[in-house]
Amino acid sequence: MNILIIGSGGREHTLAWKIKQSPLCNTLFIAPGNAGTALCGTNLAIGVSDFDGIAKACRANAVDMILVGPEEPLVKGIYDFFRDKKGFENVKIIGPSKEASQLEGSKAFAKAFMNRHNIPTAAYGEFTADKYLEGVDYIKTQSLPIVLKADGLAAGKGVLICQSHLEATAEFELMLLRSKFGEAGKKVVIEEFLKGIELSIFVLTDGENYILLPEAKDYKRVGEADAGLNTGGMGAVSPLPFVTEEFLNKVKEKIIEPTIAGFKKDKLDYKGFVFIGLMNDGGEPKVIEYNCRMGDPETEVVIPRIKNDLVELLLATADQKLDEIKMETDPRAVATVVAVSGGYPGDYEKGKVINGLDHAALEDSIIFHSGTKQDGIHVVTNGGRVLAVTSYGDNIAEAVEMSNYIMEQLEFEGIYYRTDIGFEFKNG
Ligand code: AMP
Ligand code: GLY
């Protein structure tokens, strides 16, 4: 079959790398893709939310399946667009409906969903501008720190962790009354702060059944030892030594199963990946957030640990046959280290020539591209996160060491990466 992946990051390069290995995949397209995805298939110069452009390309290339990487087109309704479009009845779309994508697109929607289905999460209140004074009173009753969240998509910047009531009230005012996050902040969720260790759980569901994918932890802060500003993710590791069978059973029973049952009860059309951000507080899992897609850079460690044919998994998702799948995972540890442009997550320059890509690859490592593009004979930087180097190892420390070794051979002006990814699991 002919498959189209929507997106252009490290996540999409990893999906393309895996799908290309499947005998079920005939021709692979990526829209818009990057210099890395071009090594796995054909890039199409179409934006991720240009649904008409995507439809045209699907017709021209006899595409049988569309796999949606990022949240933006999902929240804008790409699933519904193709489900309802004449001539696309036989095209399989992997990703949730517009309504179901609200689990990521609206924090208030996600909180109400969790409350309705008794899924453990932080206590919260939601407020719009007309309830501003009630919100201020609510803040006064909260213990510190206080978490404020813009309801809508805010490019990963809409969550504030406030250390005083004064700060929380000031930020609340900026969000609600002074449009700090524009439309996204017209509604604000005020939430209890959850303690513990954060981790990411990934599920593939056909709306009826689900399979659990390997868990991961990502490293969001730009600096070593988790210092500095938040980024899209500076690295990730899998598996996590503290994720025991007992903990996973709790996650399944208290979180995943009620989530899938909730989709059915609420008639949410969901055939795709669910990314559940969890806090593990002394062995008790609580949901921080849902995302309606895979994570980036988590995909760069989760997918390489899956031994199954990914196209087979996606077909079973579309055909509601995930109950027939037996998951096989690679027992090795996998780590990815992300190289970013100098200045990221602040301002940075693009167009820097990347050297070392050809000779750096070794047997147990893969270089995934994030923000790159082909410019004549050169591959150049084209974003904040540029490359994600994934390696296998007998343990996390070994995998990270291998990625760091490869990283030393890669070079572009301003290159920066954290050398301490997986630092808490040095002995794991
Ligand atoms: P989100 O945009 O929902 O992923 O939130 C960004 C980050 O903020 C999360 O990955 C957590 O590290 C942190 N966070 C969000 N909500 C909470 C909470 N209730 N308690 C503690 N940390 C939180
Ligand atoms: N790495 C976090 C995300 O993909 O949202």
Name the residue at shortest CA distance from atom 14 of ligand 1.
288
pLDDT at 182: 85
How do residues 234-262 score in pLDDT, each as one tens digit? 999 999 999 999 999 999 999 999 999 99
Which residue minimizes the CA distance to atom 4 of ligand 2?
295
CB of residue 287 inside a 6 A radius of ligand 1: no
The full length of the chain comes to 428
What are the extents of the domains in the chain? 2-94, 123-192
pLDDT in tens, 17-69: 999 999 999 999 999 999 999 999 999 999 999 999 999 999 999 999 999 99
Q: Which residue's CA is the nearest one to ligand 1's atom 3?
A: 289
pLDDT at 427: 63
Q: According to the model, what pLDDT value does residue 242 have?
A: 92
9 band by pLDDT with thresholds 50, 70 and 90: very high
Answer with the residue of higher pLDDT: 316 or 156. 316
Nearest protein Cα to ligand 2, atom 5:
295
Atom of ligand 2 at shortest range from CA of 293: 4
Residue having the nearest C-alpha atom to atom 3 of ligand 2: 295
Sign of CA dihedral 348, 352, 358, 360: negative
- Find the 279 Cα to ligand 1 centroid distance in Å: 9
Residues 138 and 90: beta-carbon distance below 8 Å: no
Residues sharing a CB contact under 8 Å with residue 238, sequence separation 6 or more, in sequence order: 214, 215, 216, 217, 298, 301, 302, 305, 333, 334
pLDDT interval class at 122 (50, 70, 90) = very high
| CATH code matching the domain that covers 123-192, chosen among 1.10.10.60, 3.20.10.10, 1.10.1040.10, 3.30.1490.20 | 3.30.1490.20
Q: How far is CA 388 from the centre of its chain?
A: 14
Name the CATH topology of 2-94.
Rossmann fold (3.40.50)
Instruction: Check pocket membership of 150 for ligand 1, CB cut-off 6 A.
Output: no
At residue 145, what are phi and psi to the nearest 5 degrees?
-70, 165
pLDDT band of 360, cuts 50, 70, 90: low
Cα(194) to centroid of ligand 2, in Å? 18
pLDDT in the model for residue 205 = 98
pLDDT band at 282 (very low <50, low <70, confident <90, very high): confident
356 Cα–ligand 1 center, Å: 36
Task: Please determine, for residue 117, whether its predicted confidence score (pLDDT) is greater than 70.
Answer: yes
The arithmetic mean of pLDDT across residues 310-330, rounded, is 98
